[in-house]
Each structure stands twice: as structure tokens, then as C-alpha cells.
Amino acid sequence: MFRMMQNVTETLSGRVGIVQMLGLTNSEICGNHFPAFEADPQQLIDRVRQATPMSVTEVFERIYKGSMPALYKDEKINLSVFFESYLDTYISRDIRDLEQVANETAFLNFVKAVAARTATVVNYEALASEVGISAPTAKTWLSLLISCGVVALIQPYSNNALKRIIKSPRMYFLDTGLCAHLLGWGSPQVLENSAMSGAFFETWVVSEIYKSYLNTGKKPPLYYYRDNNKKEIDLIIYQNATVYPIEIKKNTAPANAVKNFAVLNALEKTSEEDLFTDVTQLKTTVGTGLVICLANDVIPVDKKNWYVPAWLI
């Protein structure tokens, strides 16, 4: 792809469409072709009739294996050999083509450092310190991973009515199989019981929703929220002046589900009319909230919030 784009000398504006293709979604692997994920209870209930339920073990087997199409075409492929070959090809060809990486070993260490920090707020100084490079280099290299479709950044949700929000984006690996290989996890069972199981589960959920929009030719309308008081919403879908908050919990039935949505009080400020007397276009509505977890069915938490099984994404 990089060689092809480098050889294009014209803008081709209006004459060409570029579709970003990442790994397979879980619905594609299962033989379904669901539309972009939305926080619509009726749509989710309709999906239950088509989707194949997955146990906790099956979900983590999918997370561990990742989404590379070749791995589902040939079930006999050795995962370790496959990912090592992928990294070798990726670094020696694609990255070298972009001529931005002089030290391949340092770059691979950087990729591992990013993998270890999946589902966290970007901190260029910390990444640079771990690898022994400068912060500007870390920023350049992370941008490279984003351009190559290895990592996605989820920007913080902001609105003039919201104050004291965290400004830095969050980063997510877009293939959990590659991420697990880089960090040396030996099996799905070890990963499921590890200290990073929650981060991997969140990464998988976010990447699945992210890919569902790209597959329909849409820019993912995804954000997250965290303020200086550490009130946090894992993911927000923002569409049609409505924010749909999503909590991601690696449990079969998360405790204190309603408490998980207590932070919504912060977002409710965006819908108060008296704050928007002169800028009514900024007024937003807080829509249906979801707790995406390892539940067995779509279940209402209260009149506005729902449990959603991760395998429905």
C-alpha cells in the first residue's frame, strides 16, 4: 500500500475512494455481517437472533487469536510463527519504505511498549523513557503505527459545557492477537487470568466497534471521557447531537451496574438548555447507556441503560 501511494503524483480528488481495511470483525468470523454498532436496544435484541453466543473461554480464545484473515483461512497456522513473520515483513518492508525508522530494534521495542500500554492514555514521555528514544520520536513512531492500521487513537469527548477534562487521547491496538504475541502471553487461559485481561477485553471491544464503522465506510464517531476527578466513561458514541456512553467490564454480571453510570451526571450538563442560550448548536442529548460485558443476553439495567454481551458487537 505504501509503495502504491508514494507513486501517486496526483490528488485524484473526487475520482478515487480509499477504504481502510483492518482485520476481520467477530461478526464476520461468525458468518454475520452486522451494520455499524449503535446503542440501540432494539437493534441489539434483533442481533441476538442471529449471533452465536460465546462463553468467556471462547471470547478470550478469539482475543488471543486476533483478527488476521489468514488465521481463519488455515486453522493449522502456528500463531507464533505467523506473527513473527508478520512483524519481520512489516518492519523490513512497510516501515523501511516510509524511511522514518533508522533503528529497527528500537522500533520493535517501541511497538512492544505500546502493546503493554493498550487501553491507556497516551504518554509520549513514558514511552520514550521505556525505549530510550526522544519524546518527539515516540510521537512520530506512534503516528506511523496509526497510519499503518496497527493502533487507533480515541480522542477525549469535549464540549464547551464540560470543564476539566483530560486532553490526551487513548491508544488501542487494533489486533489483540498481535498485541498478545508482542507481550509473550502463552495461551488464552493465561491471558484471561492475567493482570492485563481487563485491558485486553476493553481493547477487543473498542477495536470491534471501531472496525464496524470502517467496514461501512464511516469514520468511527468514538470518544472517551475522563475528568480531573477521575470520573471516566470507557467509550462514547457521538451521533446526531447525542452521546451514548459505554462502560466495558470483564465480568459476566458487573456489580453495581447503575453505579457504573453515576459519571453520566457530568455529561448531563451538555443537555441543559440554560447553558446554551447563544450556542444552541452545542446542545446535546445523553442517549442510551450500555455496559458491554460477558453477560449471556441483552438485559435492561434500568429504563435507560442495558447490559450487552460482548459477542453481539
pLDDT reported for residue 228: 75
pLDDT in tens, 29-78: 999 889 999 999 999 999 998 998 999 999 999 999 999 999 999 989 99
Q: Is the pTM of this model over 0.85?
A: yes
pLDDT reported for residue 187: 97
Across 88-92, 186-190, 244-248, the highest mean pLDDT is recorded for 186-190
Domain ranges of the chain: 15-312
Higher pLDDT pick, 126 / 103: 126
pLDDT at 82 over 70: yes
Give me the chain's average pLDDT, please. 84
pLDDT at 266 over 60: no
Across 20-34, 37-51, 183-197, 248-262, the highest mean pLDDT is recorded for 183-197
pLDDT reported for residue 274: 41
Residues 6+ positions from 250 with CB-CB distance below 8 Å? 197, 198, 201, 202, 293, 294
188 falls in which pLDDT band (50, 70, 90)? very high
Residue-wise DSSP of 167-229: -SPEEEES-HHHHHHHTT---HHHHHTSTTHHHHHHHHHHHHHHHHHHTTT----EEEEEBTT
